[in-house]
Amino acid sequence: MNTGCLLRFPEGWRGFKSSDELYFLSSQSDPCRVLLVQFIEKTKTIEVELFLIGRDEFEMGISKRLIIVSEKPEEIPPWFPKQKDRSWATSRLKKHPKEEERTKKRIKIIENAIRWPNEWMNARYPIKVLNRLAREASANVSRFKLWTVTYLLFGRNESVIQPASWNIGKYDRTLDGVPLGNRSRNGKCYGLRINDEDKKKFEKGYKKNKAKGKTLCEIYTETLVNIYGGSKARVRKAVKGNKNPVHDYAGVMPTFNQFRYYIHKRIGKKQIQIDKYGTEKIREKEQGSRGSYSEGLANLCEKVERDAYWMNELPQGINGEDLKPISVVLMRDVLSGLITGIGFSIGGENSIAYNMAEFCAAIDKKEFARIMGIEDFQSDMWPSYGVSPNTVTDRGPGANAGNKEVFTELTQSWSPQSKATIESINPKKYKASGPKEFIRSGLSPMQLMRSAIRLVVEKNETTNNINKLTNEMLIAGVPSTPVGIWEYLNMKGRNDSVVITFDEAVRRYLPKTELSINESGIWYGRQKYHSLELYETGILDRARNGTFSVKCFYLPLNIRQIWLDEGGGLLEVPAVMRLIDNTEQLYITVEERELLDDLTKTTESEHRFHKQAIRFEMAATAHSETGRSLHGGKRVKGRPKNNTVEAKNQLKTLKNIFK
């Protein structure tokens, strides 16, 4: 028998009932006795009872089968979840660092009791010694005894005395039937306890009966009649003449205060007012001026708004055709007014543009300019970089784009004032009278996107935010431009943006695809990507045995380069040309790449017909001239007879002719 074995008494024994369960702690020779432990679980606590039994009497009870001993010691205390073991307790403790820290504190408190347990177990009165040790440790006596005995019983493993937090929040208060709130004057249990079914009826009744001009009291009355059943309800008159609605079956019905409390909590007071008075009245009459949009802000990137607009100029396709307009997404810091990111999409506002804007905002703008093919660009021309922890965006394509690990606030529909800072800088469209017109730019999509980037730099340097300058800024001579305000506040450390690495920005905001790779390089359709760094990785050597797929990140509006995801970090691999030429041709979009691939297939198809036609032409000419086919030679067995006298004379004559 080992410490921690469970003891049962099928027929009862001494003062123990047949339902009692005790645990074997130790067997002592001096004094000759055994120590048994019983755990008594109460509502909020667990108490420990320690029993001292004569060893001879205990062993006789075992021999007579009056005491049944478990085959092996128990691994965890009885209040732990059923069907669990000590490995579960250990792994759970490692997953919760705070509880692990609390457990270690408990071990430190009971250190003296568990390091020399024989000192108190061999004492004449072990409980008194444990009480003294608890007082010396300035600990609660009951908890001290519980932790000590539990630790010694169940393998001396610290995980068995961890806080029993798995039961937190599982107490079902709906079973007691007592109404919530203040105690009724008619008694503690008077009234109806609201359950989930009643809450569903409240919400259903409100949504069904709400209307402009209708009060909450009227909605409550109609809910009682329509939802709770008017045919089964009646009014009971009290002794003093007051009346209460009652139900023939349930006996009691919810009060107006219960209905109002839940509806205010579930629907919200503001929405209830809107349902009653209308949105316009609430905005115009109920809400006063809230001040300027930057008054409630103190740091850069504390709040960033983003929105999209359409470029007036139409881009030109690879065949000179007019393409659909470009959608431009801008991100603007509300406090400084600085545009922190820009993204693009063609033909429609989609999540690609919003993710590209977040990618631009996250990285150094010199690196972003390099990726977009803009030369002579310095970081101080566009000084922002980092991700804002709070972004305001439209309901639409931007609602689910670029939201990874940042908080995104969605605006109300048809509510441009919710992000007025970014709306105010969108280009204005002027509609002239007369026939319809459009602006043909004559520029490729990449050239138009570069123009938009330069316009952002211009706007950051030319917008006059004089009203945002504080007295301190005026004295310090801070320029009233967004760049000036940004640099001043950033120098003071008032910047909430989260700085991430370039690799992390690529992984977070750019789409991922699988591309094929062979021994010559990586291929996006018919476009080859290669670099010395790619060769040095050794991945091309593996491709000699056959083509396989690799995972790469790319910028849909600019596939001039891709980023290979090969285990560790990312490797940027540029597109290459088959001959020396203008590399501007490589700055294209995914759609343009697909069109070029189609042109390649068309050219290959035309070449196949062209090759057959040339072969036919040459064969026909040879036949007309010689009467034989172009490859019409006859295969003869043996060696050619070119060493005869006649053959040598003819060869000599031909040499003289061609001298």
pLDDT for res 236:
63
Is the residue at 526 inside a domain?
A: yes
Model pLDDT, residue 283:
64
Per-residue confidence (pLDDT) for residue 118, from 0 to 100? 85
Same domain, 78 and 153: yes
Question: What number of helices (H) and strands (E) belong to the chain?
Answer: 23, 20
Q: Which domain holds residue 576?
A: 511-588
Within this chain, do residues 131 and 269 fall inside the same structural domain, yes or no?
no
In this prediction, residue 509 carries a pLDDT of 93
Same domain assignment for residues 260 and 355 = no
At residue 487, the pLDDT reads 92
Residues 421 and 487 in one domain: yes
Give every strand in the sheet of 326-333, ordered side by side.
339-346, 326-333, 304-310, 390-393, 407-410
CA 385/CA 393 separation, integer angstroms:
19
245 and 388 share one domain:
no
| Cis amide leading into 325 (omega within 30) | no
- Please give the pLDDT value at position 172: 64
CB 148 within 8 A of CB 114: yes
Structural domain includes residue 219: yes
- Buried (b) or exposed (e) across 318-334, using 16+ Cβ within 10 A? eeeeebebbbbbbbbbb
**8 Å CB contact between 369 and 351:** no
Residue from 493, 507, 565 nearest 358 by CA: 507
The two tokens of residue 473 are: 């800024």
DSSP state, 123? S
How many domains does the chain divide into?
A: 4
Please report the pLDDT score of residue 416 as a whole number: 47
Q: Which residues of the chain have pLDDT under 50?
A: 248-250, 289, 403-408, 410, 412-420, 433
Instruction: Examine the domain organization and report whether 527 and 567 are in the same domain.
Output: yes
Q: Is residue 399 part of a domain?
A: yes
**Of 167, 196, 220, which residue sits at a domain end?**
167
Provide the b/e sequence for 38-70 (b: ≥16 CB within 10 Å): ebeeeeeebebebbebeeeebeebeeeebbeeb
Query: 20 and 152 share a domain?
Result: yes
